[in-house]
Structure 1
């Protein structure tokens, strides 16, 4: 067991690492540190202190986005929609409309942690196998359009 410790002490890599660590420690000990902030640390008024309070009030600037560039917050939005032109396959089966049998060209709606499917004919059905996490993964980046009514959103998506 002790022969391993002796070999480790003679390892050139570890010897060099110890030497560099010792040099860094000695250099840190020689470096002057700035005085601690406080009333006794102020040697002269001309020295700038880090974190000192400004003497003049700073003018407030309204840097918020203009209204036409703002995205509504989650509490202002009832739901989100996205087109899904492909067949929707869940658990190995293709989802079809319960009324007309359509299996592609869906509008997928997410509202109140529920997912609804709307076919081209206007029939809607809730899809319990999908959740908001699935919708967020597949919806992509933020919407390019914000519509305030359900009909405007459908019109924008081509339904």
Structure 2
């Protein structure tokens, strides 16, 4: 019994046929939108959002902060202010790739066990932006 030899396809001819078919399909399609000659004349918008709805990007703000009312547990320990001993009602600040804790009494210290990734995982969306640090403290009730 002889083994029948299979015929290999002519890849060059197949490629040429596909290119011709694609060109024909694209030629028959209607244009997707207004052509440049049909475009309406008017002022071009610089962005899709009005200026009063835009939120500053991360490189446009000096930092972010969020309240943390309950005790803050880091690596199994409750964080406490080194100056006054308070252990709840924190403001957690994230600035320049550092995380700082601020107690209700106004003492601040850098918390090296927390990083920006931790802050981003726990922070919700910003509800306001402020021009100064003091304005933000007032907004958060501190």
User: Smaller-chain TM-score range?
Assistant: 0.7 to 0.9
TM-score (norm 1): 0.66
Kindly indicate whether structure 1 or structure 2 has the higher relative contact order, using CA contacts under 8 Å at least 6 residues apart.
Answer: 2
How many residues align? The count is 119
Superposed, 1:4-153 pairs within 5 Å as: 35-37=21-23, 42=27, 48-49=29-30, 54=35, 56-59=37-40, 61-62=44-45, 63-140=47-124, 142-153=125-136
Q: Which has the larger radius of gyration?
A: 1
SS in 2 for 1:153: helix
RMSD: 2.5
The normalised TM-score by structure 2 is: 0.74
Q: Which moved more, 1:129-138 or 1:51-60?
A: 51-60
CA distance in 1, matches of 2:101, 2:88: 10
Question: C-alpha offsets along residues 68-113 of structure 1, whole Å, 9 cap, x if unaligned?
Answer: 1100011110100000001011111111001000000000000011
CA shift, 1:139, in A, is 0.4
In 2: Cα distance, 1:37 partner to 1:61 partner: 34
CA displacement at 1:57 relative to structure 2: 4.8
1:14 is matched with: none
In structure 2, runs of 5+ residues without a counterpart are 1-19
Supply the distance in 1 between the matched residues of 2:113 and 2:129 (Cα, whole angstroms). 27
Structure 1 residue ranges (4+ consecutive) displaced by more than 6 angstroms after TM superposition: none
Cα distance in 2 for partners of 1:55, 1:64 equals: 20
Cα offset, 1:37, TM superposition: 3.3
Aligned-pair CA distance for 1:135: 0.4
Write the distance in 2 (CA, Å) between the matches of 1:104 and 1:144. 22
CA gap 1:129/1:151 in 2 versus in 1, 3 angstroms: same
